[in-house]
Amino acid sequence: MAYVSNLKKLNISAALRPIFKSYGVKATIARSSNKSTLVVNISAGDIDFGADYTQINVYHINKNHVGKARFFLNEVLDAIKSAGDWYDNSDAMTDYFNTAFYIDINVGRWDKPYKNTKVNLLDDVLEFKALRELGKLQLIHVR
């Protein structure tokens, strides 16, 4: 049966704090009301997720996200799985679900949107970053 104990949540929280700090992200970690799901709510940071509110599909992070957002979400998911002793022995074909717990990652909330604190959003695009490092890109700000 999927269950997140309070001790497991504390271990995961301790593993996620340094990741949030290194990426400059503000987030909270909680359990769902039935304690079967670990919920990470990202409220502010300098990562562009492409929306003010979105629920991250943890099975398709590499397909749906690029750049810094992809690296951050993969790092968060890996930390949750390793610190929480996560496993998934489910078999949907036979209607058998056996997992340690479910994982929800939300960017923003329906009543409080994600606050992007980054000034220059072009740094997330790897091509712009590479050109800037080579000295072949110069940005001019016009007001």
pLDDT at 118: 76
User: Across the chain, what does the average pLDDT equal?
Assistant: 88
> pLDDT tens digits for 62-91?
999 999 999 999 999 999 999 999 999 999
Q: Which residues contact 67 (CB under 8 A, 6 or more apart)?
A: 48, 124, 125, 126
pLDDT at 122: 55
Residue 62's closest CA among 75, 52, 51? 75
Q: What gap in Å lies between CA 82 and CA 63, rounded to an integer?
A: 22
Give yes or no for residue 129 having a pLDDT over 80. no
> pLDDT tens digits for 23-60?
999 999 999 999 999 999 999 999 989 889 999 999 99
